[in-house]
């Protein structure tokens, strides 16, 4: 990741005649070692735009795969991988229910009572 991000930063800085870092902080990763953690992370990645306060005029910048799972039209996500994920949840309805529950739990952990409240985190 360091090489990829370093190369992109170099390219971007050269192209726009600037210097310095593009991204704040260092890259972090954590091994997903069990299915429960995977399900939580997967739900968050699919619908994290619901956790954060993204202005409506910036929603066009959001690229989330939840719409692909909802419509079962896979352009961004591999169809094979999507079918495997949906199989883990038995069906699309259970998958959507699980994602909604995880998003609600994350919002509660962050002190947000609903998805419409602004995100106070930096």
Q: Record the tokens describing residue 102, joined without a space.
A: 């995880």
Q: What is the pLDDT of residue 118?
A: 53
If one counts the domains in the chain, the total is 2
Structural domain for 69, as ranges: 31-122
DSSP 77: S
17 and 59 both lie in a single domain: no
Q: How confident is the model at residue 15 (pLDDT cuts 50, 70, 90)?
A: very high
Q: Record the tokens describing residue 116, joined without a space.
A: 């419409």
pTM of the complete model? 0.63
Q: What is the pLDDT of residue 121?
A: 43
108 and 73 both lie in a single domain: yes
pLDDT tens per residue across span 52-96: 878 888 888 888 888 888 888 888 889 999 888 888 888 888 988
10 and 49 both lie in a single domain: no
How far apart are alpha carbons 40 and 48 in whole angstroms?
A: 11
14 and 56 both lie in a single domain: no
Residues 6+ apart with CB under 8 A from 52: 119, 121
């Amino acid at each position: 990741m360091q090489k990829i991000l370093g190369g992109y930063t170099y390219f971007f800085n050269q192209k726009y005649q600037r210097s310095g870092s593009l991204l704040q902080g260092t890259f972090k990763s954590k091994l997903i070692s069990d299915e429960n953690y995977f399900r939580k992370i997967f739900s968050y990645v699919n619908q994290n735009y619901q956790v954060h306060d993204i202005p409506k005029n910036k929603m066009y910048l959001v690229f989330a795969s939840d719409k692909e799972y909802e419509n079962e039209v896979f352009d961004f996500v591999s169809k094979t991988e999507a079918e495997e994920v949906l199989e883990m949840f038995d069906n699309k309805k259970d998958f959507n229910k699980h994602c909604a529950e995880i998003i609600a739990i994350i919002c509660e952990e962050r002190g947000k009572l609903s998805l419409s409240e602004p995100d106070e985190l930096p």
